[in-house]
Amino acid sequence: MIGMMMPFFIITMILLGAIYPAIDVTAGEKERGTLEPLLTTKAGRGAIVTGKLLACTVVGLINSLSIIVALLGGLLLLPEMMGMSLPINVTVTQILSVGLLTVFLAILYSAIFLSLSFVAKTFKEAQTFASFGMIATVIPAMILMFANVRTVGTIDFIIPLYNVGLLMKMILLEIASTNQIVIVIISTLVYAILAVVGTKYLLSKEEVIFRG
């Protein structure tokens, strides 16, 4: 049960936690007129992007941590309160592994939505862009809940976002291999770096900053 539910809830909560801060610190600042003064300070473009990325990542992680605690707490306490027996076989290693993947996923989500939001002219337009991103994420996450992860191929472990949820599920089912873990971590870091570089590039283009 945990192997089926937890990846979906973690992905969804990171998405919801990172998406609105990403919109606010990009398109929101454009509307408020605070982005241009920020760019005139001594802080470099890389430092500005990093700061915004960390802020979005932290909020996403807090959201995902809350659902992990609530889910585990509910599965542990509710059966006992109802006089039922529900075996929970989750080790500390599994929890730490999923936690590490959650960090990588939060960084990637934040970087992607920062890039999308910088392109938008207004907060409302950024929300529209983000809604498509949410659909593109939630549907694969729902499919993952019922997917047979024992028959996946190597290509599945390099599909952005989906690969992290897939590995989470496999870790909780205790069927993940070291090679699969390495592939997912490296590919996710590469995607995150590309997204951050893309965001930095957008921040250097006046037609993007002053769009609209």
Q: What is the pLDDT of residue 82?
A: 57
69-96 per-position pLDDT tens digit? 777 676 666 655 555 555 556 777 888 8
The b-or-e profile of 186-204 (16+ CB within 10 A means b, else e) is ebbeebbeebbebbbebbe
For residues 11 and 141, is the Cβ–Cβ distance under 8 A?
Answer: yes
Rounded Cα–Cα distance for residues 106 and 17 (Å): 9
Max mean pLDDT among 141-145, 160-164, 204-208 falls in 160-164
Average confidence (pLDDT) over 127-141: 83
Whether 210 shows a pLDDT value over 60: the answer reads yes
Average pLDDT value for the chain: 82
3-state SS track over 113-155: HHHHHHHCCCHHHHHHHHHHHHHHHHHHHHHHHHCCHHHCCHH
CA angle 117, 106, 63 (to 5 degrees): 100
17-39 per-position pLDDT tens digit? 888 889 998 888 888 888 878 87
Rounded Cα–Cα distance for residues 61 and 51 (Å): 15
